[in-house]
Structure 1
Amino acid sequence: MNPKITILLAEDEATLGLIIKESLETRDFIVTHCLNGEDAYQAFITEKPDAVVLDIMMPKKDGFTLAQEIRKTDTTTPLLFLSAKSQVQDVVDGFYYGGNDYIKKPFSMEELIVRIHALLGRISRQNADDANRIGAYDFNYNKQTLSYKEQAYFLTHREALVLKLLLENKNEILDKSAALLRIWGKDDFFNGRSMDVFISKLRKKLASDPSIQIINVRGRGYKLIC
């Protein structure tokens, strides 16, 4: 039997929160419902849910702030914003602050459930095997190692995260601005130069396999080809 999926729901509208909680529980989810951002953050720390569904406008701590604080220590747990704020900039901000998805109110429960499963399925596939193949190399993001035959390189946290993002977008363009926001939280000249340095270091560490390339795509970002 598969374990039940645990959800942290941060929603300050008590009635709506109860409806969502009960609806998810009828589908075999286990749901912890918090009415403000501070309680939600404490629940996240203690319960380590499989996914977080959070509103933006909440007392004590808003959803964007909550997402930022979660992302300081956890870069993988799916965060799904659920909000009546529907302007394009609101959606952009949701992803900027670490969200993986954004649903505009009003919404259907079926859509919410499908999106939760999709996010968890994506994370599950990424984590199914900690060691990922990059050409002739083995890359282990959690251990921050890159291995080639008998040689192993230990990566810094940001080197490993840059390589993880490149691998997630293998043979496709990794948008530089999006990567900078994900890694540093700010898209500016200095972080852009730091990113270029990390790319150069990774190229050197991957040089033993000539089939692997990390190319610059002018004005757009980088592409890992392997």
Structure 2
Amino acid sequence: MRKTKILYVEDEPNLGQIVYDSLILKGFDTIWETDGAKVMSKFNDFTPDVCVLDIMLPNVDGYQLCEHIRNKYPTIPIIFLTAKTETPDLVKGFEAGGTDYIRKPFSIEELLVRIQNQINMHGLSENSSRTQEKRIKPDKIKLSTYNYYPKRYELVTPSKTINLSNREGELLKLLTETGSKVVERKDILLNVWGDDSYFNSRTLDVYIKKLRNYFKEDSNIEIQTLRGKGYLFLVK
């Protein structure tokens, strides 16, 4: 059976060794790199299923590294490990393409749960419901004058093509696949972020605002907020 591949990037040697050893013991095929500038060369021989990135790295920091990875591999899950706790820093991580974050200090148990959650959410496990979803995901979703290509997270507007982040793509998929039904806020948070914490709830507001901005070229498309419930994606 193929092992899940983890790319782990951390420059602090003691923490790095502990996490690396723990991932190996849990059965993950893992490589550990300490220099952000050396990471992309690893992808030639080792294309990971999940990336776990520290933010404060030498030469190329975690934000830049995430953007490089995301440009080449649009759907790969990327978990940030961060001592930065201010909301703008965490939002910056998500905007760079991160799909989850863990605040330092953290437990190995929490990291393993977060990795498994990303595996399940992104259909990397044969037994996960996401695997079945990806098998039947349509190539194109027509949204009035827009076209959304969920397999490559591309939104084609009347004037340009927008390359969505992983999380933007998953959010748009949830909003559009339900037809005219309300998508509850909690369901979005659990499916796209993995938990419904206060911070993730505020981050969801940022992502909804971004999606609305993407659709501003077509007044027939609207994302309605139903306070206390969730969102409704309407194509008039």
TM over 0.5: yes
Moved more, 36-45 or 62-71: 36-45
C-alpha spacing 1:78/1:215, structure 2 compared with 1 (3 Å): same
Q: How many aligned positions are there? A: 189
8 Å Cα contact 2:225/2:232 also seen in 1: no
| TM-score calculated relative to the size of structure 2 | 0.66
* Alignment RMSD (CA, Å): 3.4
- Any idea what the Cα deviations from partners look like across 1:156-185, whole Å, max 9, x if unmatched? 63249677532224432786741675x8xx
Mapped pair 1:165 → 2:194: no
Q: Report what 1:106 is aligned to.
A: 105
CA distance in 1 between counterparts of 2:219 and 2:15 reads: 46
5+ residue gaps, structure 1: 133-138, 148-152, 184-190, 201-213
| TM-score calculated relative to the size of structure 1 | 0.69
C-alpha spacing 1:131/1:60, structure 2 compared with 1 (3 Å): same
Q: Report what 2:216 is aligned to.
A: 196
Q: Report what 2:207 is aligned to.
A: 178
Max radius of gyration: which structure?
1
C-alpha spacing 1:59/1:8, structure 2 compared with 1 (3 Å): same
In structure 2, the residue corresponding to 1:47 is in which secondary structure?
A: coil
Q: Report what 1:130 is aligned to.
A: 134
5+ residue gaps, structure 2: 124-128, 157-162, 189-203
CA distance in 2 between counterparts of 1:96 and 1:164 reads: 14
CA distance in 2 between counterparts of 1:163 and 1:110 reads: 28
CA positional deviation for 1:101 = 1.0
C-alpha spacing 1:198/1:53, structure 2 compared with 1 (3 Å): farther
- Which of 222, 227, 232 is the matching residue for 1:223? 232
CA positional deviation for 1:41 = 2.1
In structure 1, the residue corresponding to 2:155 is in which secondary structure?
A: helix
